[in-house]
Chains A and B, each alone.
Chain A
Amino acid sequence: MKRNALVGLIALAALTTAAYAGTIHGKVSGVSGESVVYVEAIAGKTFPAPAQHVLIDQKGLMFAPHIVAVAQGTTVDFLNSDSVAHNVFWISISGNKKLGHNLGTWPKGQKQSFKFDNPGVVPLLCNVHPEMAAYVIVSPTPYFATTDKSGEYKIENVPDGAYTVTAWHEGAKYKSNPVKVAGDTTADFTLSK
């Protein structure tokens, strides 16, 4: 009963925002697999840090998921689900080595959290298993999406306006394009290695 009321509220909120916000959708081509598309920082606008934590698991000597997009200020919980020791570190965020960090090591079943206050691409590594890798894409705005395997994406609830939109793909050169959002807007990207 309570839950139904909540779902109703969310639906209503979605309806009201839809009244004055648009959608960016399109396709990232030139690469295969998942990419991340996000709206770059908007002058004069800040966003509250999301309360919801995002989980990245270390399981079977792999990070899962391999690519995670979050909004700036999101706290990511790193879980070790393996009975071997892992570690999580990154040497930079979008090439800025001052933002490098090492979270150390923790046993199976435990979590270590980190709040990503700086936007950019965070390449996660494990210093025990050099083959392990993952990416956290910290979007400066809450307007971001991960593409499906074919490269299709949809960012919803973007207020109408002019933005810079960036597409990122592992191992490819990122691309930023100006996009004028007015209702349902299409923005395609072609990335290359």
Chain B
Amino acid sequence: MDSSRQTKFLVAAVLLLLVPRFSYAIPAFSRQYGTSCTTCHIDFPKLNDFGKAFKDAGFKFPKDDESFLKAPPIMLGAPAQAELWPHTVYPGVIPGLPPIGLRYNTFFQQASANRNNFNAVLPVGTVGTFIPKSDFQPGLFSIFTAGNFGSGISFWVDDDISVAGANSNGGLGDGWVKFNNISRLFKLPTDSLSLRVGQFELDIPFSQARTWNMSGWDIFDEANIGVQNGLAPLQNVNNGFAFSSPAVGLELSGGHAYGGYHYSVAVVGQNTSGAAANPPNVSPQNGVAFASDSNFKDLYGRFSYRFNLERDKASRTDIQAAGATGPRDHTSLALGTFYYYGRSVQSLSGVLADGVTPTVLTAREPFYRIGGDVNFNYRTFNLFGVYLAGHDHNLLPVTSGEAEGPTGFVVSNPATFSGGFVEADYLALPWMMAIMRWDVVKSSADRVNFIEYDPAAPPSSSFFSPYSATRNRFTPGVQFLIHANIKASFEYQIRPKQIVYDPATGTALTQPFRTNLATAGLEWVY
């Protein structure tokens, strides 16, 4: 069990280090409306206020959408058919042009000289993992499709075609349908209630799946996985949940991203262990497996409020503020909070109280994530951040007396982590955005995973690990729009301090060091 967790952690660490993120802009909309990417994006895929309103409206212009469509939608039934309902299929539309966007990116990366220090833990003569000094990466080819079916029903599917794996590492990203503004059916205020069904990134304050950064924010990638070792306090957490993974379920939401309140409440399936059941006696719908590993469904909620700060009321409440020389994004301050509650499942073989009869012991550990966020915008300067705290109950398997295996669980110190990020984006020119980021993660699980390594109690093996309980990362970057749909990005990740110990003796094999990484990327969407 330990070694598999270590592998998981190692793989995650390597992926975090090496795989640049991907991002989206939707050329399908550009085609439907005959307009530039910059109508909705500042340095795509970062949305401007108009883009946020377009998204809130279900991928439609907030008002008079039909008058902007360059290719009229195809009617799936004349609008007058609606009067016949329920004796006919309710009329809808599909986009007049296939709503397909494509994206490709390619990378070059350069790692610092000490990048192979981890091989020092291997016995002499063992072939280790080789990280090249520089590397060309093919990147990803993705297809994404999104649009509106009429009656406020919008849809989104994105998929990475070229890379093996799933979720944020390739494969299906988001795939959902959203019933926008169902509040109108209940005579509630416009846009106060929408329903989304499918696979989606949780409504986190800043999208990791559609981030403009080359590397994602560390805190949204943080899973609470802690191996058991000789260090106190003991822990037994194997909770693969991270905000960057897509969730599957239902979401109710309302409000607007460009001003005023916004909320969402979601009920999602959980699979914190990574194990999917594939039983022979039932046929799961996808023909492969069940997606959840528990009866319990996890809950997520978010509330935020954005204050637009213009003095003039018309300007303040409009989608964009009226500037002296043309509309611009609002000067605004947004505050938000979010909360996730779930249970992580860990099953292991144990014995009954008699000490011999085999049984399966299952820990259903409650866990929560709670966070707050702030987002300040002044003209082309955007300062924002997230603080997130995670808490897992931490049930430890115990063996009573002379039993041949674990007989139950006891509550130990919770496995917690906290951290977040602060980022400043400055759009110096319409085609150039400078970025400075500080990511921080402080994790008890990470600490026990060899971080504050105790030479008196050597661990059984060694692997990639931060040097201290707190991982800091500074990431300056700059991005250039070569065209509205072609972007060159640069990022320099100043990584956390690390150290390599001899797993047998606990002797430090290296001085503390950092493996910094410079990445250059080229991305185009069409």
A interface residues with partner B (beta carbon < 8 Å): 59-62, 82-85, 87, 89, 102, 104-105, 107, 126-131
Contacts and interface: CB of A to CB of B under 8 A. Distances in A.
B34 A127 contact: no
B313 interface: no
B64 A82 contact: yes
Nearest to B67: A60
Contacts of A104: 322-326
Contacts of B50: 84, 128
A83 B325 contact: no
B326 A87 contact: yes
Nearest to A132: B35
B325 A129 contact: no
B486 to A, nearest CB: 14
A60 B33 CA distance: 9
Given A61-B35, A82-B67, A105-B322, A130 B484 contact: yes
Contact of A83 (B38, B61, B326): B61
A76 B10 CA distance: 67
A184 B340 CA distance: 83
A47 to B, nearest CB: 32
Contacts of A87: 325-327
B7 interface: no
Contacts, number: 66
Most A Cβ at <10 Å: residue of B314, B318, B326, B484: B326
A127 B320 CA distance: 13
B151 interface: no
Nearest to B322: A105
A83 B36 CA distance: 17
A130 B33 CA distance: 13
B507 interface: no
A127 B36 CA distance: 11
A105 B326 CA distance: 5
Contacts of B62: 83
B87 interface: no
B326 A128 contact: yes
B429 to A, nearest CB: 13
B39 interface: yes
Interface in B38-59: 38-39, 50
B455 to A, nearest CB: 62
A60 B318 CA distance: 19
Size band of the B side of the interface?
Answer: 20 to 34
Most A Cβ at <10 Å: residue of B35, B36, B50, B319: B35
Contacts of B67: 59-60, 82-83
Given A83-B63, A85-B318, A131 B325 contact: no
Given A87-B327, A105-B323, A130 B64 contact: no
Given A59-B67, A84-B50, A128 B327 contact: yes
Contact of B327 (A59, A83, A85, A102): A85
B61 A131 contact: no
B461 to A, nearest CB: 56
B68 interface: yes
Contacts of A82: 64, 67-68
A102 B36 contact: no
Contacts of A61: 33-35, 39, 68
A60 B326 contact: no
A131 B318 contact: no
B326 A131 contact: no
Interface in B308-362: 314, 318-320, 322-327
Nearest to A101: B325
23 contacts: A83-B62, A83-B64, A84-B50, A84-B319, A85-B319, A85-B322, A85-B326, A89-B325, A89-B326, A102-B324, A104-B322, A104-B323, A104-B324, A104-B326, A105-B323, A105-B325, A105-B326, A128-B326, A128-B327, A129-B35, A129-B39, A130-B38, A130-B484
A84 B322 CA distance: 11
Given A82-B67, A130-B484, 12 more contacts: A83-B61, A83-B64, A85-B326, A89-B325, A104-B322, A104-B325, A127-B325, A128-B39, A128-B327, A129-B36, A129-B39, A130-B36
A82 B469 CA distance: 55
A82 B68 CA distance: 8
B431 to A, nearest CB: 11
A5 B61 CA distance: 49
Nearest to A88: B326
A91 to B, nearest CB: 12
A185 B327 CA distance: 49
Interface in B266-313: none
A128 B324 CA distance: 13
A111 to B, nearest CB: 16
A90 to B, nearest CB: 12
B68 A102 contact: no
Given A60-B68, A61-B33, A129-B36, A84 B325 contact: no
B141 to A, nearest CB: 26
A162 B318 CA distance: 56
A166 to B, nearest CB: 31
Nearest to B320: A85
Given A60-B67, A82-B64, A85-B320, A131 B35 contact: yes
A104 B323 CA distance: 7
Contacts of B314: 107
A176 B375 CA distance: 57
A127 B326 CA distance: 7
A67 B68 CA distance: 21
Contact of A131 (B36, B68, B322): B36
Contacts of A60: 67-68, 70
B204 to A, nearest CB: 28
